[in-house]
Amino acid sequence: MNHSYESEHDGSFKYNHIPEEFWQLFEISPGGVSIGTDPHCTTIIHNRKASRMLRIPAGGFFSHSSFKPPSVKVFRDGIELLPHEMPMQRSGVDGEEVQDEVLEFVWPDGFRTVSVWNSIPILNKEDRVVGVLATTEEITRYVLREREMQLDKINLENVVTEKIEEQTRLRSEVERLDRFSLVAQMAASISHEVRNPISTVRGFLQLMQRNQTYNDNYYKLIISELDRANEIIGNFLSLSKQNDSAERLEKDLAETLGFILPLLEADALMMGKKVSFIEKSVTPVRLNSKEIQQVLINLVRNSLEASEKGTTVVVEMFENEASIGFYVKDEGPGIPPEIVAQLGTPFLTTKEKGTGLGLSICYDIARRHGAEISIDSGEKGTTFKFAFAKQKSQSA
């Protein structure tokens, strides 16, 4: 099988002693066929199909192991190959069979082809490698199409990313405008709420000036209206402070709530109602005492105002596997579901003289403490639940 080869007048080569019909099969094969004439592949001849792919005359030489290698770079997975790393050379020197190896040939003028190579060593009767046979199929069109599709995919992903970023910017802008709208709403509501008591005070002062009378009830009413204006402004300031840095320490929740119980009992007594405190021993909680006391005051006063005379508002502590906190339960008529869904929104109120800021303050304090406020309301009354999430060490 160690055939010699000779030059034809057209510059092509063919093996001696190979029947013409077999040589013709080599030449007209629909796939690329290449033959290395020695184990090191210093000479490789290629049939017409392979020659067209390699941009050489039909049957010409093309080998990077030759003494005058072609000025073509060959890449596998983006890495340039040295001559001994190519499929045919590996088959000849190492005797290995190479299957489905994708190579990219790049010429100095920028032209490129991509092809799949399979190669096997040619052995003589003594099983020594005397040459190499390789087949190849060009897949340039498919690879370039795939690259175009990949590029289109990247471009599309970039467009999607840009759209998402734009949408995020628009959402931020909408939120900013919503905040402006809320501020405008707050300013209008505060102006309206504060104007009422101020108008009352002004009217009575004018009346006293005109009549030069000093009715004690007038003074009480003026003081009451000024107190109401001050409370409205105080609530607004509490809501706007966003005091996330307020100090929180581990404290006894029962002691924190019990401290203001006399104040709440006095409020209830003046309304002809009662406040009952069901104290329980619970794990200490990290909290800001003044803020949690403010929550309890707001919730209890809301419940008292919603309850009939002679009823009782119950404050009850609890602890379970997930949380620690307290309930505030009243015996009022309940809150409509559409209002429950919006509770905590500034200026949302069902009271004739309410500002709707009390619950907003409660929700904001809960957020700062990592706690949650939940509501269960029906015809027999409403229960507010204020729950601190237990830390892992507390749950263990």
Q: Could you tell me if 234 and 268 lie in one domain?
A: no
Residues 225 and 329 occupy one common structural domain: no
Same domain, 10 and 125: yes
Q: Indicate the residue among 241, 265, 286 that finishes a domain.
A: 241
Percent pLDDT > 90 in the chain is: 28
Does residue 173 or residue 96 have the better pLDDT?
Answer: 96
Q: Do 218 and 169 fall within a single domain?
A: yes
Mean pLDDT of 17-41: 77
pTM equals 0.43
**Which CATH number fits the domain that encloses residue 256?**
3.30.565.10
Domain span including residue 234: 146-241
Closest CA to 67 of 41, 102, 42: 42
* In a shared domain, residues 370 and 282: yes
Q: What is the mean pLDDT of residues 279-306?
A: 89
Q: Could you tell me if 237 and 256 lie in one domain?
A: no
Same domain, 153 and 225: yes
Choose one of 192, 212, 241: the last residue of a domain. Answer: 241
Mean pLDDT calculated for residue range 266-283: 90
CATH number where 233 lies: 1.10.287.130
23: pLDDT strictly greater than 80: no
* Residues 96-110, mean pLDDT to the nearest whole number: 92
Provide the number of structural domains found in the chain.
Answer: 3
* Domain final residue pick, 92, 108, 138: 138
**pLDDT tens-digit profile of 236-269?**
555 555 555 567 889 999 999 988 888 888 888 8
Q: How big is the chain by its Cα radius of gyration, in Å?
A: 45
Would you state the pLDDT for residue 5? 43
What is the pLDDT averaged over residues 354-365?
A: 71
CB < 8 Å & 24+ apart, contacts of 29-32: 31/135, 31/136, 31/137, 32/115, 32/135, 32/136, 32/137, 32/138
366 and 350 in one domain? yes
Backbone angles phi, psi at 315, to 5 degrees: -110, 115
**Window from 97-106, 219-228, 251-260, 361-370 with minimum mean pLDDT:** 219-228
- 177 and 81, same domain (yes or no): no
User: What would the mean pLDDT of 260-280 be, rounded to a whole number?
Assistant: 88
| Average pLDDT for 227-234 | 65
Beta-carbon contacts of residue 144 (< 8 Å; ≥ 6 apart):
114
Which pLDDT score, from 0 to 100, does residue 363 have? 84
Two tokens, residue 164 = 């998402």
Would you tell me how many other CB atoms lie within 10 Å of the CB of residue 335?
19
pLDDT at 161: 84
Q: What is the mean pLDDT of the chain?
A: 79
Give the pLDDT confidence score for residue 97 in this predicted structure: 92
β-strand pairing of 79-80 with 112-123: unpaired
Residues 117 and 180 in one domain: no
Asked if residue 343 and residue 385 are part of one domain, the reply reads: yes
Average pLDDT score over residue span 144-149: 78
Domain shared by 48 and 126, yes or no: yes
Q: pLDDT of 173-229, one tens digit each?
A: 776 666 556 555 666 556 655 666 666 666 666 666 666 666 666 666 666 667 667
Sequence-distant (6+) residues with CB within 8 A of 221 are 200, 204
- CATH number where 80 lies: 3.30.450.20
pLDDT at 8 over 50: no
